[in-house]
Chain A
């Protein structure tokens, strides 16, 4: 069978200047950019500069603004089924419906049982396992990097946050190690220096005595207004009053700032609290008993950052059964799981609820207790040192 060959357009000799060709290349999907890095040596150099990567990222974000409907999430089982040398498979899905788009194998080994996504910024993901091994991974460009070991002596009861530092166009991982109640050590890793640096103990950074930083499991520590936020148990004043407060670690100044929780949001009956992002704003999710049989999630949003009075209880999501919070997407989808205690079908059962409409999606495409984060394509890490391609 003869295949009809289409006419190639007859083109005058190409004469677009170098900068304009780069302008065009910076608008391409990631896979195309990687393919075209080899058109010539000078383009290869230009494409691997931080400037090009930032321009490319900006173009991706601008095109997302025009497409309001869909963002993406990536989720990964936190617990592997077999103990041992199992590489978890990550799933990329639509954030509103969790409809599966594709699957990606993680290129690095996690030899321990519990792994989690620490955070996601500009298409760069941060992973950590229970042995305190931390990786940075950009699945779109198939590159990853294992972080060096801690610069602190011992690590105990660790919690991690991952942030983009716009002032330096850099990425940071913040690790808080709880040596004992009220004694914490904090270290910060920066991608540009590829090293950890101790930032001191909490007493030097706040006026309040922090007893405990809540890990927020399984949700990632949210980055809002250039700060990573932890709910903390604190002891204040001469009477040693105990209360809960939000400790916000400013990524630029590397200092903590205190923010109050909404009035009446948390009391001795609250089961659990989580911090998350809702449409770019800081959100508090309180899991508590409800008046009807069952439990409920109250979702508070801080409408104006830093203004305590602007905390507003926006949604209440009731459940008849004990429903564990797995994820809360930026557009307000709450993903919970029940433990299925029926003999025929053991395991987890998931439900995705749109908090605005309370519309439920039963059996979304997720099977394991997972770690969930936002996902986007980008070239971040393309210019990195000590990076592995696979």
Chain B
């Protein structure tokens, strides 16, 4: 009979989990309770639902056994496991972040935060505010000024299908292309717009042409659309 010490954890919705002490101690919060001798009965975790707690326990199990000297789990295998594990929908991901924070499981907090970071890096500030429920307290003038100061950071990248070349273009130019304009206005886009049907050299030509149009519009001269529109429309036809 195994004499492995176990602790009992109780989720916010009443689910009970019996877990080996070493696994539970991956959580610094629980470790503290155990060491302070407060863990005789079930430890209530009012901030974590059963579903999320079971995931956290899974993570802790996997990562405790890897620190065993007997374990043959390599770093790569563990990373692969982590990648599989974290492939969950955004709501679950956010719940995992909150649980990892509350339970103080550093590895899980790093993993979940890094995953969210990787998801959001190409997004626009507007999308970030929506995602994290952040109120924009800049006045429109202030926002305009700071955007101008760091305009280069707002450049939209157009990528061709081989992800070989990325073209940085100003928003005004990208909007010359009706298709892209729609994408931008629908807030579909992150700041990298993949264009699967367009090769690099055509894209370069199109961008050159858009530049001329924007410049022409700014100088209020008559733009000549004929050749340009042919170039613009053709490659973007499905």
A binding-site residues for B, Cβ under 8 Å: 1, 3, 5-6, 9, 11-17, 20-21, 23-25, 27-29, 31-32, 34-43, 142, 389
Asked whether A23 lies within 8 Å of B128 as measured between CB atoms, the reply is: no
Q: Within the complex, what minimum Cβ distance (angstroms) separates B217 from chain A?
A: 24
Asked whether B120 lies within 8 Å of A38 as measured between CB atoms, the reply is: no
Asked whether B90 lies within 8 Å of A9 as measured between CB atoms, the reply is: yes
Asked whether B97 lies within 8 Å of A3 as measured between CB atoms, the reply is: no
Whether B179 sits at the interface, judged by CB under 8 Å, is yes
Known: A3-B179, A20-B98, A39-B125. 9 other contacts (CB 8 A): A5-B186, A14-B133, A20-B113, A24-B117, A27-B114, A28-B117, A35-B154, A36-B125, A37-B150
CB neighbours (8 Å) of B114 from chain A are 27
6 A–B contacts from the bound complex (CB under 8 Å): A1-B237, A3-B182, A14-B130, A16-B94, A17-B101, A20-B101
Given contact pairs A14-B131, A14-B133, A28-B121, A40 touches B238 in the complex (Cβ within 8 A): no
CB neighbours (8 Å) of B94 from chain A are 11-12, 14-16
Complex CA distance for A35 and B186, rounded to whole angstroms:
20
Given contact pairs A21-B132, A34-B150, A27 touches B117 in the complex (Cβ within 8 A): yes
Whether B146 sits at the interface, judged by CB under 8 Å, is yes
CB neighbours (8 Å) of A3 from chain B are 179, 182-183
Q: Within the complex, what minimum Cβ distance (angstroms) separates B127 from chain A?
A: 9
Asked whether B133 lies within 8 Å of A38 as measured between CB atoms, the reply is: no
Say what secondary structure dominates the interface of chain B: helix
Complex CA distance for A36 and B117, rounded to whole angstroms:
12
Q: Which 10 A-B pairs have the closest CB atoms?
A: A14-B133, A27-B117, A34-B153, A14-B132, A32-B121, A35-B153, A1-B238, A24-B113, A24-B117, A23-B113
Asked whether A28 lies within 8 Å of B120 as measured between CB atoms, the reply is: yes
Given contact pairs A3-B179, A142-B152, A40 touches B120 in the complex (Cβ within 8 A): no
The chain A residue sitting closest to B118, CB to CB, is A27
Whether B219 sits at the interface, judged by CB under 8 Å, is no
Complex CA distance for A250 and B130, rounded to whole angstroms:
49
Asked whether A31 lies within 8 Å of B153 as measured between CB atoms, the reply is: yes
Whether B1 sits at the interface, judged by CB under 8 Å, is no
Q: Within the complex, what minimum Cβ distance (angstroms) separates B74 from chain A?
A: 14
**Residue of A13, A16, A41, A42 with highest tally of chain B CB at under 10 A:** A16
Complex CA distance for A279 and B143, rounded to whole angstroms:
45
The chain B residue sitting closest to A13, CB to CB, is B133
Complex CA distance for A39 and B132, rounded to whole angstroms:
10
Q: Within the complex, what minimum Cβ distance (angstroms) separates B111 from chain A?
A: 11
CB neighbours (8 Å) of B117 from chain A are 24-25, 27-28
Asked whether B138 lies within 8 Å of A41 as measured between CB atoms, the reply is: yes
Interface flags for B73-106 (1: CB within 8 Å of A; 0: not) read 0000000000000000111001001100100000
Complex CA distance for A5 and B147, rounded to whole angstroms:
27
The chain B residue sitting closest to A62, CB to CB, is B110
Complex CA distance for A17 and B134, rounded to whole angstroms:
10
Q: Within the complex, what minimum Cβ distance (angstroms) separates B100 from chain A?
A: 9
The chain A residue sitting closest to B146, CB to CB, is A38
The chain B residue sitting closest to A25, CB to CB, is B117
CB neighbours (8 Å) of B147 from chain A are 38
Given contact pairs A5-B186, A24-B120, A27-B113, A15 touches B133 in the complex (Cβ within 8 A): yes
CB neighbours (8 Å) of B138 from chain A are 38, 40-41
